[in-house]
Chain A
Amino acid sequence: MSLLQIDNLSMDIVSTSILRDVTLTVDPGEIVAVTGESGSGKSMTAFSVMQLLPERVKTSGSIYLDGKDLLQASEAEMCRLRGNTVGMVFQEPMTALNPVKTIGDQVTETILIHKAMSPADAKTRAREVLDRVGLPADRFPLSRYPHELSGGQRQRVVIAMAIALRPKLLIADEPTTALDVTTQAQILDLLKGLVEDFGMGLLMITHDLAVVADMADRIVVMRRGEVVERGPTRSLLAQMKHPYTRQLFEASGHQVDLPPRPEPKPLLEVKDVVRDYRLPRTRPFAPHGQFRAVKGVSFELHRGERLGLVGESGCGKSTLTRALLGLEPIQGGSITLDGEPVFSGTKPNLAVRRKMQVVFQDPFGSFNPRHRVDRLITEPFFLLDEPPTGKAREAAIGEALEAVGLTAKDARKYIHEFSGGQRQRIAIARALIIRPELILFDEAVSALDVSVRAQILDLLADLCRAYDLSYLFISHDLSVVRTVTDRVLVMKSGEIVEQGETEEVFSNPRHPYTRTLIDAAPVLPDLDALGRSLTDA
């Protein structure tokens, strides 16, 4: 029998079916990746192994862990297993740790709660485990608090807590989704190393097929609560049997067809922009410190061009975005759109702002839930001196909604009636409605499933063909930037370290940082080559 054996697991919450006949196994020392889009039930499968499920869940089937049927186990028995035989790592490292306890206390707790060692030994073990996950004692003493650590470091603490007692099975639910690519690469390496060293089984839940292809020994593809395909990584990738698997892979590597660029004519000109933040005093009466988030950035965005801006969290790309939109004053340099300053005097220049719109990342948080769609998407009208009313307003709403693939009838609905992808379409309609010349996309497709993301990217290509738009596409996702932009800027620590034609930068990076970024990003395997190598063998 395998280490983990899930047989015909079905799950219902009230009358909604969450999982149907899910069967999968994990052996010691094996990495099994469960992948699929949101709503596929992959996370619920993971949580059912931990038996940390919402109330009123009905399950049937069986889950055997190390020979014990977890569905028959009492809560007390499950408490003895959790953290001891099976550990878990979560998606969001920023909130996964208790903010008021030291990392030492939190790692030690896993050991002490199972009465595995004396408090002194537990402390020694906690130290060893933190060293093992790459948090050495000199920089990360046990007395550190979570808020003193970065996201990647916090994820290491969470991993340390999960492996402190050397569990036989580790479950990782989207462990790197919230992290930067370079950090992601390190955490994935760490997980792989732990599996090798301890002979643990790793059940990894992830939506990122490039990560899956890179990490997993075996893959399980899920859709709407069912397993649609499973198999060893190489053979599954080489000969995808289920159309959904193929569709997922195609969407992940989706290439859009951009219209050609017109002759270069500057639209947005950014010269030596500096953005300083005032830091709090370090001691009474000391002068305020300054933090320079954007250090003299200059670039041009041409009319009709799709420009990408990539960089990791904290590099200043969001600060720069806010400055471009005239949301915050800058401390040096100039930003002009069509020759006019974005920020005039102490307030944003409305004449310029109406030529520029933005689409944000979170399709759930960026709408007021109490307003109907027509009111939501006509918000930019306040930038106009004479906003359209009556029939003209209705016509504008209808046109904007139809341009993004919705219908005019959707105008009277509320935002909760739409899916994530549809909401992002509404966000684009909101940007489009006053016919801007430039749209900024701030991580606009990062929260979407791959198939939805592919559709939205196609929509963006169609729109810039139809409306003569220019895009500034800000993202941490290199593969997306590569397909949807003509030129790209690479930003690090407030500076643009490299810029050039997208293909040129990606295939021939000159700055070492760009190379690090590109190397760290997991890539989808070349499926044809994989197929050939398999038939040759």
Chain B
Amino acid sequence: MLNYIFKRFLSLIVSLAVASLVIFFVIEVAPGDPAQFMLGINAQPDTVAALRSELGLDVPKWQRYLGWVGGLVTGDFGTSYTYRTPISTMIADRLWVSLPLAIYALTLSTVIAFPAGIYAAARRGKGGDMAVMGATQLGVAVPNFWFAMMMVLIFAINLRWFSAGGFAGWDKGLWTGIHSLTLPAVSLALPQAAILARVMRSALLDILGEDFMRTARAKGLTRRQALWRHGVRNALIPVLTIIGLQFSFLLAGSIIIEQVFYLPGLGRLVFQAISSRDLIVVESVVMLLVFAVITVNFLVDLAYAAVDPRLRSRT
């Protein structure tokens, strides 16, 4: 077990190191000089040179890489080229929106998908299964931004239950924060829930065909008891994989939804930084997202071991 955790952890560290190298150098080779960009095309060469040295762009690449990585480890992400403010505070502000939103959406998606998938698997081929499968087909097909706009139309403009956009902030209380994230979270969650429900259903159907399900029935368990006691936990492995992927996506990929609801999230930060050549911000946010993805994968690996004893004893 310890060996398994150690191996997973080692692979986490290696992945982070490789990712930081790739991110840094890919962005470095991209054309465009941030100092030139910030000063405009009419700037004097010596002004540009002065700004370059102020931003630390004139030292060798590998030194800048080491400085950047060292800063990441200590929590000092550097200073934004454009805003001249510490990147760590910029990211922290945005993370307070993006992280709760991702967790909120993932919780919703799981809460919807598990019962739907299990229900559909239990009534395979019957009306209930077809209804769930039809709904998930729709959920996968409808783009989430369109869905988000419909929700704004119905719940914000017509019913006035929620505000159409913006984020109230957490200082006005937990409930206010959650309330203002609800519409974005639902629009993010529904397509994910549709995918997750389908995965849950097909994983369970595979398990229902296993010999040990027949054994369970031969012991006197009803169909439903066998499904819950022996099916669900075995079906969790593929489902956990998808949940891990979805969390990463929700954290980083919600840029369109952030745009629709005018949320100050990470996605928008990256978008703005890219358009203003604020490379160091881009690097830092991308690195942070990579860190999040790799950490989530690590947690998913640990969850596998919790679910499946065979992984625990594999040394």
Residues of A within 8 A of B230 (CB): 98, 101
Give B230 Cβ to nearest chain A Cβ, in Å: 5
Residues of A within 8 A of B161 (CB): none
> A280 at interface (Cβ–Cβ under 8 A)?
yes
Kindly state the separation between the CA atoms of A92 and B214 in the bound complex, as whole angstroms.
Answer: 12
Residues of B within 8 A of A101 (CB): 230
Kindly state the separation between the CA atoms of A98 and B308 in the bound complex, as whole angstroms.
Answer: 11
Chain A residue nearest to B233 in the complex (CB) = A100
Q: Name the one of B3, B212, B229 contacting A97, with C-beta atoms under 8 angstroms.
A: B212
Interface residues of A in 150-183 (CB under 8 A from B): 158, 161-162
Kindly state the separation between the CA atoms of A147 and B212 in the bound complex, as whole angstroms.
Answer: 13
Kindly state the separation between the CA atoms of A80 and B225 in the bound complex, as whole angstroms.
Answer: 13
Interface residues of A in 103-157 (CB under 8 A from B): 109-110, 113-114, 145, 147-148
Contact B309 A100 (CB under 8 A): yes
Residues of A within 8 A of B215 (CB): 90, 96-98, 158, 161
Chain B residue nearest to A144 in the complex (CB) = B309
> B219 at interface (Cβ–Cβ under 8 A)?
yes
Contact B218 A98 (CB under 8 A): no
Say whether, besides A99-B234, A100-B234, A280-B315, A82 and B220 are in contact (CB < 8 Å): yes
Main secondary structure of the interface of B (DSSP, over half): helix
Kindly state the separation between the CA atoms of A96 and B3 in the bound complex, as whole angstroms.
Answer: 29
Of A4-12, A281-289, A455-463, the stretch lying at the interface with chain B is: A281-289
Q: Name the one of A81, A109, A147 contacting B309, with C-beta atoms under 8 angstroms.
A: A147
Give A291 Cβ to nearest chain B Cβ, in Å: 13
Contact A96 B211 (CB under 8 A): yes
Interface core residue of B212, B217, B307 (most chain A CB under 10 Å): B212
Say whether, besides A90-B214, A109-B229, A98 and B219 are in contact (CB < 8 Å): no
> A190 at interface (Cβ–Cβ under 8 A)?
no
Q: Name the one of A79, A99, A109 contacting B310, with C-beta atoms under 8 angstroms.
A: A99
Contact B3 A99 (CB under 8 A): no
Kindly state the separation between the CA atoms of A330 and B236 in the bound complex, as whole angstroms.
Answer: 40
Contacts across chains A and B counted by CB atoms under 8 Å: 87
Interface residues of B in 84-136 (CB under 8 A from A): none
Contact B216 A80 (CB under 8 A): no
Kindly state the separation between the CA atoms of A110 and B221 in the bound complex, as whole angstroms.
Answer: 8
Residues of A within 8 A of B310 (CB): 99, 145, 147
Proximity bits, B201-238, A CB within 8 Å = 1, else 0: 00000000011101111111110010001100110000
> A52 at interface (Cβ–Cβ under 8 A)?
yes
Residues of B within 8 A of A109 (CB): 216, 219, 221, 229
Kindly state the separation between the CA atoms of A265 and B290 in the bound complex, as whole angstroms.
Answer: 66
> B172 at interface (Cβ–Cβ under 8 A)?
no
Contact A95 B308 (CB under 8 A): no
Contact A88 B309 (CB under 8 A): no
Residues of B within 8 A of A145 (CB): 309-310, 313
Residues of B within 8 A of A82 (CB): 217-220
Q: Name the one of B3, B7, B210, B221 contacting A282, with C-beta atoms under 8 angstroms.
A: B3
Chain A residue nearest to B2 in the complex (CB) = A283
Chain B residue nearest to A76 in the complex (CB) = B222
Give A154 Cβ to nearest chain B Cβ, in Å: 11
Kindly state the separation between the CA atoms of A464 and B314 in the bound complex, as whole angstroms.
Answer: 46
Contact B225 A284 (CB under 8 A): no
Give B123 Cβ to nearest chain A Cβ, in Å: 12
13 contacts between A and B (CB under 8 A): A75-B222, A82-B218, A82-B219, A83-B218, A90-B214, A96-B215, A98-B230, A100-B234, A110-B220, A145-B313, A281-B3, A283-B2, A284-B3
The 3 closest A-B pairs by CB, nearest first: A83-B220, A83-B219, A95-B211
Q: Give me the interface of A with B, judged by CB distance under 8 Å.
A: 50, 52, 75-76, 79-84, 87-88, 90, 92, 95-101, 109-110, 113-114, 145, 147-148, 158, 161-162, 280-284
Beyond the given A75-B222, A83-B220, A109-B216, please list 19 additional residue pairs across the A-B interface where CB-CB is below 8 A: A79-B222, A82-B218, A84-B220, A87-B218, A92-B211, A97-B212, A98-B234, A99-B310, A100-B234, A110-B220, A113-B225, A147-B309, A147-B313, A158-B215, A282-B315, A283-B2, A284-B2, A284-B3, A284-B6
